[in-house]
Structure 1
Amino acid sequence: MGKDLLLEIGTEELPPLYILPALEQLKVNAKKIFNENRLKFQDCKTFGTPRRIGIFLFDLSEKQDDKVLEVIGPPKIVAYDSSNNPTNVAFKFAKEHQVNISDLKIKKIPKGEYVYIIKTQRGYKTEKILPELLKQLISSFSWKKSMRWEGNFRFARPIRWILALYGNNVIKFSIADVTSGNKSYGHKMIKTKPIVIKDISKFEGILEKNYVILDYESRKKLLLNQIFKIANKVKGIPLINQKLVEEVTNTVEYPTVLLGKFSNEYLSFPKEVLIDVMENNQKYFPVVDKEDKLLPYFLFVKDGLSKYNDIVREGNERVIKARFEDIKFFFNEDRKTTLESKVDKLKSVVFQEELGSIYDKIQRLMTLCEKVQSLFKLDDLNKIKRAIYLCKADLVTEMVREFPTLQGVIGREYALLDNELKEVADAIYEHYLPRFVQDDLPKTPTGIVLSILDKIDTIVGCFSIGLVPTGSEDPYGLRRDTLGIINVILRNNLSISLKKIIDNSFDTYSNKLKVNKEKVLFDILEFFKSRVESILLEKNIRYDIVNAILSVDFDNFYVTFIKAEKLNNLSRKDNFNKSITAFSRVINILPKNFKFKGLREDLLKEEVEKDLFDVVKNNEEKFLHFINQNEFDKAFDIISGFSPYIDKFFDKVLVMDKNEEIRNNRLSLLEYIKSIFTKIADFSKIVIS
């Protein structure tokens, strides 16, 4: 029977976004450390607030498990003489490990026969080793940024107290000049005196009575319940941003939600601007009505009891009024001129030193949209060109300078106020999408094309001057842009050639790029390829099928993903492995550098090779029809019908005939068949189970 363990690390205020990752680390590291030290426990539970992180280990065993060791000794040849009697070497080994000479055993290992013993290492009592284990656990955190004191000890913020109990006993140790004990603390503004903890099972209840809710989920639930209840009083619906919920929940130990109000006059400004200020600057929750219109209210969270609420509310209302007055000023300044009139200022905004200004980027996009008009089947270039011309203009507005996250949003709103077409205005916003994982994707035809072209221009330019992402470094967000392009193409079923778009984009840089075009094109395609591979694997496509398809071609993402899903489904059928075996025989026998010599029917001497040629030739047109229709399952069924003919061919025909002409003709037949197979995949890369 074990005892419960409680470790609480009290700190100065932790950054709210550090807490959940720290709790995950704490759980993982605790399991690792205690398992490595042969200490069993039933379950564990972490907790964390801005001032503390900790863990419970329930039913932790009172003693380490014993460890059975196999100790290898000297070689048998020196431990025993020719009569198999133990030598002094054997006696010395037995004495060293405190065993009888009769306990020695012989074992054959790669180096030969050796003497060994089986030894049991008795486990220590848990209380004896806990001080070192807990110090190790506290030192095991990895922080985004940390502080250092007391030598080289690092932690996110200075440690102020440590509570360490095993059962009813205090586990004494010191770390970072803090000695552990049995004392904790309640809410810093309400209960400032230390609290002696005598019973681990009552710890959470005692802290809650002292206005600290230890559990993150409990704190979050309490916060959200208050938010919805108060919003309902003004017939509103709170806008719940999950990242903000996490941040605010981990900013307080005892959440109290209050309602603030602002003047209706500010509702005349773009809704997204007001929401951005409330959420990102002030950490408030905006309130909307049933029609999603913004109401003149906001919800905010204070830490502690419902005391001095009116004073706190008035303070927050003054702050939001000041911020909204800034918006009013910036908006009025921006609206003195049209969005179009601001474009010329982009000539002085540097995109990248070697690649020119933002204005240069716009000119490249103008040229690029003309070059790829047929690829995207664009009947009218007027909308896309207008959207391109205006898409970066809001970068020089006062509003975006003050609130950079609103780029695109402000451009859309100002374009609508200037009576631009709605699709053009929407495209100004949408061309930045997606901005992060799980973000929205562009929906309008103009926004879809502009989103792809803008990202391609950035990728081509950066790769051409050597700004390729390495490790965690990706200052221009090329990984994000690459995934964005892939997702936009897949969501909209765009059957387009990536290679042609990149090729045309490179040409728009004119003489700016002094690099090998083919090398840049290859590097970019490989960069895309690695992202496509990751996405396919995440979709549970077999890794060998992914390799087989990407080895052939992936220029058209839409087609690549259809092919992968259909081939993955086909792999579950009974005849799949048999067909793959036949296909692989064709591919594997061909010399690597073999060049098609031209196939002559008159040199097909054997009936089986004539039959093979006939069945392939007669079905080629139908096969290609299915390929062009992306019906890869039907195309596979056709070539699966070649399998018995391929098997007979290899059974009856010597491919490497002594006659060079016949040999080359047979290899050319196989090369011809391979050229058909590889319109789907390189089947030699598929692993046969």
Structure 2
Amino acid sequence: MNKDFLLEIGLEEMPAKYITASAKQLKERATEWFKEKKIAVSDIETYSSPRRLTILAKDVAIKQEDQIEEAKGPAKKIAFDEKGDWSKAAQGFARSQGVAPEDLSFQEIKGTEYIYIKKEVKGLETSILLPEFKKIITDMTFPVSMHWSDCDLRYIRPIKWLIALFGTEVIPFEVAGVKTGNETRGHRFLGQNATIHSPADYEKALLEQFVVADADARKEAIREQIAEIETIQKWNIPADADLLEEVNNLVEYPTALFGDFEEAYLELPEEVLITTMKEHQRYFPVFDQENRLLPHFITVRNGNHEHLDMVQKGNEKVLRARLSDADFFYQEDLKMTIDEAVHKLKNIVFHEKLGSLTEKMKRVQKVALLIADYLSWDEEQKKDIYRVTDIYKFDLVTNIVGEFPELQGIMGEKYARLQGENEAVATAIREHYMPISAEGELPKSDLGSLLAISDKLETLISFFCINIIPTGSADPFSLRRSAFGVMRIIQANEWNLPLAEVLAEIVGIERKEGFSELPSEEVYQVAQNFMKNRLRVILRGHDVRQDIIEAVVGGDPNRIPQIIDSAKVLNESTNDDWFRPTIEALTRVTNIAKKYEDHEAVDPSLFENDYEKELFDSVQELKRDYPNMTIVERLKRFAKIRPIIDNYFENTLVMSENEALKANRLALLVELSTFIREFAQMDEIQVK
């Protein structure tokens, strides 16, 4: 008869932002263990709270599946000694398999007979194997971990109790001096310890001790309570999935309530108020039906409805102190001019090997002007570049940003507007930080987009110059995120920047600043490969085949929107009838041409047949039309040229003994190959 298995890891309060991922990790490790051990299980549920990570495996088989194992031993020719008895090799193989030599047989494999054994292995009882969950617990990894007492184990927080229950049987093992049992702990203040007699009792037993163990149920309860307050008060409380997730992982028994703050604080910028409430206090801001911020907040108590008036007053007092500080900082900031703030940036080190923030901004200005030239920006647009790159980091020395770092850029925009900066410059100050996450919002303005990619590219190349390059999972300066952001911004704006050339020129800018721990060519190659890898990630996100990814990324990562469009078009065309013969023909051209890059201009007077002329005319048409063609049109043109290529090869000996004819024919193929390779490295595409 199957049984349920309950594993609860009881801990000191964990950081809220790591609980959901940790519960998921525990489930994944348990799932893999049951699969590896060939123990049937119908489902694995997870429970979590600030003080516990739990799995409940349903209908677990009481023993492993029986298995048939097969093994190949030594060749038959060495299985017997000169007397015809089993050799030492055969006897050793039999011992290793736990059988007698008489149980051995022979099987022919690729013309040679080998000793062969096929045996039935009875599955072990599940209860014998479950103590291995000790290793599952100790092998878990966390973004932060700690030692405690004299324990050698590093863990997210100290382990205080353990439950390992298979049916009604306690599975015995010990982790960090804590032995397994069947007793859990309830709410720290409202509950008591509770005995779990069977896994099915777990959720109910904890609820009786004021713990809602099901994280989804707890979250839904919070959502419903907030909605009820919203309806009664006729407020508008916008959904905030991230804040709800964090609050949910801060409480075990949620009770929502609201509080107030003085209307005078509404004079502060809305972002300051919201950040104070959300980031510092984990409160939900309240708005009216016209989406105007109101002097109220919602908070969630880890407890019941008793003494809510005192809880409300306590939260109001804490928030009032926070807002009072914010108001003081804001008023002090208003006394400082942008120029005074910029002057202070000289004393802030960007990196010990890369100078101050002032020096970084000067380098970014050079990069921004470089990119602006590639984008054909006029002198009027460049005036905004000069101004914004002179000042765009100034808010880092303001009091508000010092207290609320998450407002960098946001307060810069507000202070810039208050001090008369134009719309484009003020907006770009905020947008240059974007995107702040892999899927974060992108800049909407041209100047903001230009400043964002200039700042990020300068950061990348300057760090590469001093040999700080992300390896494995180590990326302390978030350089991967910066590169990914550059790619996304370029793609969104459809800026066909020749990125390879831009990277090379930025390397030159950084070298002139004296950053030279690596040779220029090595820095350039590191940058190229780094950007290629980010481009691969983007293309995988579009479900592009890996061989096609390598085909479009294989050269220099140059005009990003074109590369992405080429990958999509190729990926969508793989099942078309024309695709395979076209790729094969184009690959044949490039394979020949890449060995003969140096060539003279094609001389039509040397053509010996109409097939040469037809291909030449097609290449000239392609050369004329290519710059104005869409990606789809380019691929269709290649498909149209394909039979002309086939006829050319069938009727023309490229490697003629006549050196003049040979050189002329190779020159034609090299000219065609230039367009093919700009589109993709066709030899990377698998068409067999």
What amino acid maps onto 2:374 in structure 1? L
Q: Does the Cα contact within 8 Å between 2:590 and 2:677 map onto a contact in 1?
A: no
What is the aligned partner in structure 2 of residue 427 from structure 1?
A: 428
What is the aligned partner in structure 2 of residue 219 from structure 1?
A: 218
Change (3 A) 1:319 1:93: closer
Q: Which runs of 5+ in 2 are unaligned?
A: none
Once residues 321 and 540 of structure 1 are traced to their aligned partners in structure 2, the CA distance between those partners, rounded to angstroms, is 50
Change (3 A) 1:95 1:280: closer
What amino acid maps onto 2:463 in structure 1? C
Describe how 1:50-129 pairs up with structure 2 within 5 A: 50-72=50-72, 75-80=75-80, 103-108=103-108, 113-129=113-129
Q: 1:592 aligns with which of 595, 611, 627?
A: 595
Q: Does the Cα contact within 8 Å between 1:548 and 1:684 map onto a contact in 2?
A: yes
Change (3 A) 1:111 1:146: farther
Tell me the SS of whatever aligns to 1:494: coil
Once residues 561 and 535 of structure 2 are traced to their aligned partners in structure 1, the CA distance between those partners, rounded to angstroms, is 11
Change (3 A) 1:31 1:655: same
Q: Does the Cα contact within 8 Å between 1:579 and 1:643 map onto a contact in 2?
A: yes
What is the aligned partner in structure 1 of residue 671 from structure 2?
A: 672
Q: Does the alignment pair 1:459 with 2:476?
A: no
Q: TM-score by structure 2 length?
A: 0.92
Q: Does the Cα contact within 8 Å between 1:626 and 1:634 map onto a contact in 2?
A: no
What amino acid maps onto 1:340 in structure 2? D
Q: 2:606 aligns with which of 594, 600, 603?
A: 603
Deviations along 1:518-568, one digit per CA (max 9) or x if unpaired, are 543343233212211221122112222222222344322122222222232
What amino acid maps onto 1:422 in structure 2? E
Q: 1:558 aligns with which of 551, 561, 565?
A: 561
Q: TM-score by structure 1 length?
A: 0.92
Deviates further, 499-508 or 170-179? 499-508
What is the aligned partner in structure 1 of residue 158 from structure 2?
A: 158
Q: Does the Cα contact within 8 Å between 1:570 and 1:633 map onto a contact in 2?
A: no
Q: 1:534 aligns with which of 532, 537, 540?
A: 537
What amino acid maps onto 2:23 in structure 1? L
Q: What is the percent sequence identity of the aligned residues? A: 35
Deviations along 1:104-139, one digit per CA (max 9) or x if unpaired, are 311345895333332222222222332x23323322
Give the drift of 1:72.
4.6
Tell me the SS of whatever aligns to 1:361: helix
Q: Does the Cα contact within 8 Å between 1:260 and 1:299 map onto a contact in 2?
A: yes
Tell me the SS of whatever aligns to 1:238: coil
Tell me the SS of whatever aligns to 2:143: coil
What amino acid maps onto 1:30 in structure 2? A
What is the aligned partner in structure 2 of residue 169 from structure 1?
A: 169
Give the drift of 1:584.
1.6
Once residues 337 and 167 of structure 1 are traced to their aligned partners in structure 2, the CA distance between those partners, rounded to angstroms, is 69
Q: Does the Cα contact within 8 Å between 1:7 and 1:55 map onto a contact in 2?
A: yes
What is the aligned partner in structure 2 of residue 196 from structure 1?
A: 195
Change (3 A) 1:333 1:614: same
What amino acid maps onto 2:305 in structure 1? S
Deviations along 1:311-345, one digit per CA (max 9) or x if unpaired, are 12111111111111111111111111322332222
Q: Does the Cα contact within 8 Å between 2:369 and 2:385 map onto a contact in 1?
A: no
Q: Does the Cα contact within 8 Å between 1:339 and 1:411 map onto a contact in 2?
A: no
Q: Does the alignment pair 1:438 with 2:465?
A: no
Tell me the SS of whatever aligns to 2:344: helix
What is the aligned partner in structure 1 of residue 687 from structure 2?
A: 688
Q: Does the alignment pair 1:494 with 2:495?
A: yes
Give the drift of 1:213.
0.8
Give the drift of 1:255.
0.8
Q: Does the Cα contact within 8 Å between 2:285 and 2:297 map onto a contact in 1?
A: yes
What amino acid maps onto 2:16 in structure 1? P
Once residues 96 and 465 of structure 1 are traced to their aligned partners in structure 2, the CA distance between those partners, rounded to angstroms, is 55
Change (3 A) 1:471 1:74: closer
Once residues 133 and 383 of structure 2 are traced to their aligned partners in structure 1, the CA distance between those partners, rounded to angstroms, is 68
Deviations along 1:577-596, one digit per CA (max 9) or x if unpaired, are 01111112222234635522
Q: Does the Cα contact within 8 Å between 1:256 and 1:306 map onto a contact in 2?
A: yes
Q: Which runs of 5+ in 1 are unaligned?
A: none
Give the drift of 1:95.
8.6
Q: Does the alignment pair 1:479 with 2:511?
A: no
Give the drift of 1:351.
2.3
Deviations along 1:584-638, one digit per CA (max 9) or x if unpaired, are 2222234635522443334333x2xx41x32233233542454322412222222
Once residues 267 and 37 of structure 1 are traced to their aligned partners in structure 2, the CA distance between those partners, rounded to angstroms, is 61
Change (3 A) 1:141 1:518: closer
Change (3 A) 1:357 1:178: closer
What amino acid maps onto 2:216 in structure 1? E
Q: Does the Cα contact within 8 Å between 1:104 and 1:117 map onto a contact in 2?
A: yes
Change (3 A) 1:319 1:201: same
What is the aligned partner in structure 2 of residue 405 from structure 1?
A: 406
Give the drift of 1:254.
0.7
Change (3 A) 1:197 1:337: closer
Give the drift of 1:263.
0.5
Q: Does the Cα contact within 8 Å between 2:593 and 2:673 map onto a contact in 1?
A: no
Deviates further, 258-267 or 548-557? 548-557
Describe how 1:119-158 pairs up with structure 2 within 5 A: 119-130=119-130, 132-148=131-147, 152-158=152-158
Change (3 A) 1:125 1:571: closer
Once residues 570 and 74 of structure 1 are traced to their aligned partners in structure 2, the CA distance between those partners, rounded to angstroms, is 51
What is the aligned partner in structure 1 of residue 471 from structure 2?
A: 470
Once residues 92 and 671 of structure 2 are traced to their aligned partners in structure 1, the CA distance between those partners, rounded to angstroms, is 74
Deviates further, 10-19 or 472-481? 472-481
Q: Does the Cα contact within 8 Å between 1:240 and 1:285 map onto a contact in 2?
A: no
Q: Does the Cα contact within 8 Å between 1:339 and 1:393 map onto a contact in 2?
A: yes
Change (3 A) 1:462 1:80: closer
Change (3 A) 1:399 1:204: same
What is the aligned partner in structure 1 of residue 41 from structure 2?
A: 41
Deviates further, 283-292 or 352-361? 352-361
Describe how 1:211-290 pairs up with structure 2 within 5 A: 211-290=210-289
Deviates further, 661-670 or 3-12? 661-670
Once residues 404 and 602 of structure 2 are traced to their aligned partners in structure 1, the CA distance between those partners, rounded to angstroms, is 67
Tell me the SS of whatever aligns to 1:306: coil
Change (3 A) 1:237 1:627: farther
Q: Does the Cα contact within 8 Å between 1:506 and 1:517 map onto a contact in 2?
A: yes
Once residues 525 and 100 of structure 1 are traced to their aligned partners in structure 2, the CA distance between those partners, rounded to angstroms, is 61
Give the drift of 1:501.
4.0
Once residues 223 and 117 of structure 1 are traced to their aligned partners in structure 2, the CA distance between those partners, rounded to angstroms, is 61
Q: Does the Cα contact within 8 Å between 1:163 and 1:181 map onto a contact in 2?
A: yes
What amino acid maps onto 1:419 in structure 2? G
Change (3 A) 1:370 1:179: closer
Tell me the SS of whatever aligns to 1:147: coil
What amino acid maps onto 1:6 in structure 2? L
Q: Does the alignment pair 1:20 with 2:23?
A: no
Once residues 554 and 333 of structure 2 are traced to their aligned partners in structure 1, the CA distance between those partners, rounded to angstroms, is 52
Deviations along 1:219-263, one digit per CA (max 9) or x if unpaired, are 111112212222343332224432322221111111111211110
Deviations along 1:459-489, one digit per CA (max 9) or x if unpaired, are 2322223232233333433222211121112
Change (3 A) 1:59 1:377: same
What is the aligned partner in structure 1 of residue 622 from structure 2?
A: 623
Deviations along 1:633-686, one digit per CA (max 9) or x if unpaired, are 222222323322332333344333333333333323322332232232222221
Once residues 448 and 154 of structure 1 are traced to their aligned partners in structure 2, the CA distance between those partners, rounded to angstroms, is 43
Deviates further, 318-327 or 117-126? 117-126
What amino acid maps onto 2:190 in structure 1? I
Once residues 128 and 287 of structure 1 are traced to their aligned partners in structure 2, the CA distance between those partners, rounded to angstroms, is 55
Describe how 1:250-399 pairs up with structure 2 within 5 A: 250-379=249-378, 380=380, 381-399=382-400
Q: Does the Cα contact within 8 Å between 1:11 and 1:160 map onto a contact in 2?
A: yes
Q: Does the Cα contact within 8 Å between 1:254 and 1:304 map onto a contact in 2?
A: yes
What is the aligned partner in structure 2 of residue 568 from structure 1?
A: 571
RMSD: 2.8
Once residues 94 and 498 of structure 1 are traced to their aligned partners in structure 2, the CA distance between those partners, rounded to angstroms, is 64
